[in-house]
Chains A and B, each alone.
Chain A
Amino acid sequence: MPRVWKFGDSVNTDDILPGKFAPFMAGEDVFQTFAFHYIRPEFAAQVQPGDLLIGGRNWGLGSSREYAPQALKKLQIGGIVAPSFARIHYRNLLNLGIPAFEHDLTGVLQDGDQVSLDINTGLLVYSGEDGRSGTVQLPPPPEFLREALAEGSILAFFKKYGRFPGERVSENGSG
C-alpha cells in the first residue's frame, strides 16, 4: 500500500531537485535519484510507486524548472497534497499529469501512514501504525483542467485538438 512522505512549509524547487543535478548535468537517466537530496537523502532510494507527498504551505516555490516535478514523475509518486502551491510549479505538475490537490493534511497524516487515493474522485483513505484511520475528501482539480487530464496530459490534448483546453474556437481558426 502506498505510504505518506510528509514535508513542511515552503518546500522549494531546489529542495525537490537541486539545480546542479539537472538532467543535462547529472544525466537524463539518473537525475531523479537526487530528488530531495539535501532535505531527505533517503527519499529516492526508498520511495515506492504510488506514494503520496504531503506538504505544507507554498509547495514548489522557486524555479520554473520542470525537471523538479519530472524527477517525481520518474519516481512514480502518486500525487502531492498541500494547502497551497507556487504557481509555476503547480502548472508544471498538472502539465506532467502529476495529481496535485490543494488541501492541508499536515495535521491529519504522519510520515509512513498507509494511504489509498482515488485521483478521479479525490477520496483518500488512510491508516497509521498508531491506530489512526479515516477518510478525507480532497477537492478535485480546477474544472478547466479536467478536459486536459482526460486526454492524459496537456501535450496530448494540444496534439489532438490543436488548441488549449477551454479555448474558444474562433471562426477563422486563427484565434
Chain B
Amino acid sequence: MRGMTVLTSRPQTMAEKILSRRGDQTVYAGDLAVVDVDQVMVVDSIAQSFIERMQRDLNAVPKYPERVSIVIDHVAPASTVSVAQAQKEAREYAAQTGVRLFDVGRGICHQVLVEENLARPGWIVLGSDSHSTTYGAVAAFGSGMGATDIALAAASGKTWLKVPESVKVSFTGELRPGVTAKDVALEMIRVLGADGATYQSIEMHAGDRFTRGERMTLANLCVEAGAKAGLVVPGGEILTSYGYDVPEWVYPDEGATYVREITVDLTALNPRMSAPSEVDNVHDVAELRGLKVDQVFIGTCTNGRIEDLHAAADVLRDRRVNPQTRLLVIPASSQVMEEAMVDGTLLTLQRAGAVLGTPGCGPCMGRHQGVLAPGEVCVSTSNRNFIGRMGDKDAKIYLASPAVAAATAVMGQIALPADLPEAVA
C-alpha cells in the first residue's frame, strides 16, 4: 500500500496523515489502525525479553531485519556479569538475524537512530523506550512500547494502535537569551500536566524555529505529558537543511480537528526547572535558587547533544566546578563526543572539573555510574525526577537545561548563568 495516494475526505492532523499513509485506509482519531513500521528499536535493557518473545513465544525471526536496530546504551559498558551476559546475547542475536547492532559507546538509541537516518519524515518508528517520541523531531511518528509489542512489530513489520487525538501547540514570540528548548518543553508539560496528553499526540507548530537538536528536546519530553507521539511540524527549511526529504503530504491539513489548543509565549518564558518528584512540578529556576547541590549531570536523550555541551561549555569556560559538587558530562553519542573533542568543548569541560563518561544513557535511570546517596541533591538535564530513579529513594532530582545545570555546578547550588561572577582565566 505504500506510495498509494490516500484520498482524504476531511482535514487530518499530522498523526492522522502518517498513520493513514502507513496503513491501508484513511484514518482519524479514535480509529484502530494496523500500520507498517519503518524502524523497530530495541535497547539493551529489554533485549533479553525481546529475544525470548521472538524465539520462544512467537517462534519468529524479524520479518525485515534491516528495519530492526538493537542499541546497547542503557548500561554501557556493562556493570555486572549478568548485564554483560544479556548484552552478549544481544550481540549474538544480531549476528544471527542480521539486525543492526549499535554497541557500547555508539550512543543513546534516539540520538543514534536520528544520526543514522533511521528516522525520517513520515516514517513510523517504534522503540522499546518511552522517549521514542523523540523521532517526532524529524516528523516521524515515534512511539514507545513494551517488549511484547516491539517483538510483534519486528516479527510482522507492523503494529496496531488507536489513532490518537491531537493537542495543537503553537508558539509566539522568540526566546530570550539564556532560555532554551528545554525550558519550552518543561513549560508545555506544566501547562498540560503529567497526564494531560495521555493517549494523544502533541503536534507542535514551531514554524522555522528550533534546530533539529532542539526539536528532539521538545519531542522527547512529550511523553512526560503522557503523549503517544510528539510531532514537530517541519517548518521552513529546518529539516531540509539537514538533508531530509520532507514529503508534502506529511504536513497537517488546515482545519484539522484538535482536542485542545495551547499557545506558549516564548518571549515571556524564564529558565524552568522541574522539582521532585514529578516532571510537571515546574518552577522558575529563580524560585529554587540557592539550594545546595551534590551532583550535576549533563547528558541523556533530552540534552546530551553538541549544542547542549556548547551551552554548558559557554558557562564553564575559565570557571571551576564547585569543590562541594560533582559534574558528570556524558555526550549523547560517539558523533557528539567527536565533535566536542575536535572543537575543544570537551577540553573546556575537563579543565572546569567535569567527569566525562562513555556515550550512553549514563546515570539517568540509576543502574550504574553516578548513583545518588541518601539525601543527595542532583540537577540533571534528563527527563525524569521520579523517586529513586537515580539512586536512593531519599535523593532528590531537579531537571533543567544544560546552561542552568552548568551554572549550578559552578555555584554548588541551584543558580542561573547570570548569577555567576565574572570568569577568571
A binding-site residues for B, Cβ under 8 Å: 10, 12, 14-15, 18-20, 22-25, 27, 37-39, 57-58, 61-67, 69-70, 84-88, 91-92, 95-96, 144, 154-155, 158-159, 162-168, 170, 175
Contacts and interface: CB of A to CB of B under 8 A. Distances in A.
Given A14-B389, A25-B82, A155-B53, A87 B199 contact: yes
A18 B46 contact: no
Contacts of B32: 144, 166
A63 B58 contact: no
Contacts of B152: 154-155, 158, 164
Contacts of A70: 49
B45 interface: yes
Contacts of B396: none
B357 interface: no
9 contacts: A19-B45, A63-B130, A69-B146, A88-B145, A158-B58, A162-B156, A164-B156, A166-B32, A166-B34
A61 B387 CA distance: 13
A12 B75 contact: no
Contacts of B387: 14-15, 38-39
Interface in B54-76: 57-59, 75
A20 to B, nearest CB: 5
B146 A64 contact: yes
Interface string B143-164: 0111111011001101110000
Residue from B1, B59, B132, B146 with most neighbouring chain A CB atoms (10 Å): B146
Interface string B119-131: 0000000011110
B208 interface: no
Contacts of B45: 19, 22, 24, 65
B314 interface: no
The 6 closest A-B pairs by CB, nearest first: A66-B146, A58-B195, A92-B146, A19-B365, A38-B393, A95-B148
Interface of B: 1, 24-25, 32, 34, 36, 44-46, 48-49, 53, 57-59, 75, 79-80, 82-83, 86, 127-130, 132, 144-149, 151-152, 155-156, 158-160, 194-195, 198-199, 226, 228, 278, 365-367, 371, 384, 386-389, 393
Contact of A159 (B59, B132, B147): B59
Contacts of B158: 164, 175
Given A38-B388, A155-B53, A159-B59, A167 B160 contact: yes
Nearest to A14: B386
B322 to A, nearest CB: 28
B393 to A, nearest CB: 4
